[in-house]
Amino acid sequence: MWEERAERARREIAAFAAGGMNLADLYPSALAVVQREVPFEQGCWAAVDPDSMVMTSITNYRPWPVGKDEYEEYSLRFAECEYTGQEPNTFAELLRRQRPIARISDAAHRDVVRSVRINELLKPQGLDHELRAAFRIDDACWGVGSIFRAGGKDFTDREVEFLEAVTATLAAATRIAVRTGHPARPAAVGPVIVIAGLHGELRAATPAAAAWLTEVEDAAPGRFTMTLHSVVAQAHASVSGTARARMRDAGENWVVLQASRLITGDDPEQMVVTVEPATTQDLATLLLAAYGVTARERDVCLEVLSGNATADIARHLFISPHTVHDHLKSLFGKVGVGSRGELVARLVA
């Protein structure tokens, strides 16, 4: 029965996370588990910043059959389709559905024939069938993924149900992987500033940015490129003309990318993208989400990080001191600490 196979897959994926796998190892291992039950020719999964849905890493089941320069263009166009195009089954759209999973064959024909992703990116690679899903848990998305098949055999209903059955486990495993890894050295200092073109192509960089980019590319090829393409595409789609996302640098430090559309100059479609070390609040909000805390527990924790006493927290949040203690007790249990000091150390170390 497929239900039994799905349960076995869930246990395997959960074991990967419980064993301390980081994201670079988790997704290839999980893709192999899924491929065993749902055969596919090509797979592409990405971790996302849960606040922005910007892709912060990418894992391919197999290298795409294109050259390095072509792959750069391929990634750029994919990000543009995902964040700014009128594409069927975008990941943002999947998150608005009760079931965050979809086959391209179930999309409206008029949408499929107009799809750049399907007709210009996938079909030239011989990939006619697509199944994609968002990895969601506790109303937050931690990853997204697509698997592809060549023509001849579409994904069956049972295969769709199998992948759907493991998406929450994939989200939980991704959330755990976000909490792993410790900085190998202090975060780089700036100014790390790059200028990107309309589609996210890198046009210029400060000397500090060039050195930082080289380190990131050596440590994790493609990590910054995908994040840059994604955050630029989202900034172009935003009314404010800005977007931001968190990612890890070569030393495993969390940094924040912010893209802002230029409105003057020879090319007003250019984006200036800054990279700065994540603030205490940037890091704490991400890690608290990764520990699965509630919104109110997060508010209490941020007050603790600001050094506020119980009475002050109660007054600021309009709750009783007893309720503050209840939230702290729950926080300690979820984060795995026993005191306020340990909580602060765990989140800002």
Which tens digits make up the pLDDT trace of 211-258? 898 888 888 777 788 888 888 888 888 888 899 999 888 888 889 999
Q: What percent of the chain shows pLDDT beyond 90? A: 60
**Strand locations in the chain (E):** 42-47, 59-60, 101-103, 127-137, 140-150, 192-196, 202-205, 242-248, 254-261, 271-277
Please state the three-class secondary structure of 75-99 as a single string.
Answer: HHHHHHHHHHCCCCCCHHHHHCCCC
191 cis-preceded (ω within 30 degrees of 0): yes
Q: Looking at residue 71, what is its pLDDT?
A: 76
Q: Where are the domains of the chain?
A: 2-178, 192-278, 282-348
Q: CA 32, CA 61: separation in Å to the nearest integer?
A: 8
**What pLDDT, in 10s, does the model give residues 169-216?**
999 999 999 988 666 666 655 678 999 987 778 889 999 898 898 888
Q: CA 147, CA 45: separation in Å to the nearest integer?
A: 8
C-beta atoms surrounding 223 within 10 Å: 21
**Global pTM value:** 0.88
The more confident residue out of 334 and 67 is: 334
Q: CA 115, CA 123: separation in Å to the nearest integer?
A: 11
| 105 close to 138: Cβ distance less than 8 angstroms | no
Q: Please, which residues bridge with residue 316 across strands?
A: none
**Any idea which architecture 2-178 has in CATH?**
2-Layer Sandwich (3.30)
Domain 2-178 and domain 192-278, same fold? Reply is yes
CA proximity to 111, closest of 89, 126, 93: 89
Q: Looking at residue 265, what is its pLDDT?
A: 60
**Any idea which architecture 282-348 has in CATH?**
Orthogonal Bundle (1.10)
Instruction: Quickly name the fold that domain 192-278 has.
Output: Beta-Lactamase (3.30.450)
Q: Looking at residue 104, what is its pLDDT?
A: 97
**What are the tokens at 89?**
């089954």
